[in-house]
Structure 1
Amino acid sequence: MSAAAPRHIPVLGREAVAMLGLRDGGLYVDATFGAGGYSRAILDAADTRVIGIDRDRSAIAGGFDLVERSNGRLTLVENRFSNLAEVCAAQGAGAVDGVVMDVGVSSMQIDEAGRGFSFRLDGPLDMRMGHDGPTAADIVATASEADLASIIYIFGEERHSRAVARAIAASRHEAPITTTRALAGIVSKVVRSKPGDIHPATRTFQGLRIFVNEELDELHLALAAAERVLKPGGRLVVVSFHSLEDRIVKNFFNERAGSGGGSRHLPEIARSAPAFRILTRRPVIAQDAEVRANPRARSAKLRAAERTDAPALAAAALPAWPSLAAVMRGG
């Protein structure tokens, strides 16, 4: 199968697959199928079965050839990875041996101008990973100036978020902002950069993309779902690409492993039995050779943990940041 299949090497792919501890007969979930790099490696490494999930219909369609070559060992499902527990149940999988996630936008999506993810390629201001819900253009047209500033500050970590929001609000009164080039031009007028800095629109585009796709909410929910479906001894491996994602993963593992105790000045409180054992005390990062071959690997961090036999803990409430539904209804 592997000789004829098109090759896609995911960032930290070798390390991620090794962390899964693959075994013959095991069932694994590739929660962010993308171009199929993890799924292909898992299928090649052992006599395994894989459930691949992606919210992007084009990614699922692109994986049909791999499904055919897998001789029934790969099943692809178009869905959000936050729904992985329901996906597994629908596939008759009560519990699985491993889950791998590569969080964030894929290089395929960035490189396709029509998807509207990149300020370097002119295209419609879309940014949706799936094919439903409001676009980035809808958010830019509908959100209040205050909401825009919050979105760009919280999810884009842009310290000039108020100036950017003010410029967007002023520009949309003149004409609709419907293309990536138009938005990048507006942002570039208020966010200055020096030679060698990132593009002025980088953080604004990141913030809108994360918000449009509810990426951080999705990650919170997906981690909790993985906890519910993993067998004792099953492993969860997550590769993230920026500090917001990595912080969520790190905190989740620490909470579920019982790490980071309370204060010595306060009485002890009863703790639930740890649901995970952390395998990566420090995140795994890409080696120099991989970074040279793929600059995107420079920011990647891999964290992994192994499920214990303790019951899954209750999912924590989502953070109180701007929600897509509330912003779209003006609330």
Structure 2
Amino acid sequence: MTDAPSLPGHLTPAPADHPRVPRAKVGVILANLGTPDATDYWSMRRYLNEFLSDERVIDLPRWKWQPILQLIILSKRPKSSGANYDKIWDREHDASPLLVITREQTAAVAAAMAERHGEGVMVDFAMRYGNPSTKSVIEKMAQAGCERIAFFPLYPQYSAPTTATANDQAFRALMQLRRQPAFRTVPSYHDHPLYIEALARSVEDAYGGLDRRPDLLVTSYHGMPERYLREGDPYHCQCQKTTRLLRERLGWPEDEVVISFQSRFGSEEWLKPYTVEEVARLAKAGKRHIAVMAPAFSADCVETLEEVEGEIREAFMHAGGEGFAYIPCLNAAPTHIEMMVSILERELSGWL
């Protein structure tokens, strides 16, 4: 005679030698690009090697790209990139601003989720490149009893070199687990009403603190090769839509907001106009006071704090500009955290 099945809520005790089974939880991982551990040559080389070896980022044949990367680029670029990171390094926390801000975002989202849903939700963050690695965080969540995980790439606009490679890395980590959790990836949110509202409020707050209203607002997005657009990547279209929705929410005419692309790498044609050239053109055309924001970045990083505040500001002022205001990323602003929590609760439907 077989034992009768146990009823729900009446669990059969496990044998004494059974491995400990933690209480079931729902996991949330906030995922961002990554950061070097330090600014020295070898730390930068490890980080850049991982980043630039990603075939989603540089999609040239490996036999062609790797000799160039290992013998030429990684012999020089770690030193110059390290110098750029050193300019913005958070000395108090001995970490890059991206890491410090992502920790703040994670703590705020964790607090909000705990207030709404108790201890059954575990929130952490991971980096596609560098530490903490995606693999290590997924393994930690699985060991902590997360039977369901929502993976949230913090890239508002989808692109293969950002959103897709973050998801790729997560699924590679899942492939190595004996017991896989159920897994959901959060889609892009380039047109989410709360994202647009958060951007608009950041602009209004910044403009309210300036002595003179800028002649126009430049929305500067990270660039990518033009051929990616032709090959079907929706990034360019989603950037255009974000800027249009932001302008409409602000109630501004079309000529007060422009779009451009920064951080060009390599020799092929990238999405245009290039921000560094566009701001110089604007200054020469008589737009002497501008504000610049970077809507594609969820946290301030080397591309905003060093490139926008350094190279792009310098190009504008050198061309005759008089007033340059950088509007920070959304970072850990309450409106940004509210948006993340709202998106997560939608994506966790049926799990919470």
Q: What TM-score does the superposition give when structure 1 sets the normalisation length? A: 0.30
Tell me which protein shows more helix as a share of its residues.
Answer: 2
Q: What TM-score does the superposition give when structure 2 sets the normalisation length? A: 0.29
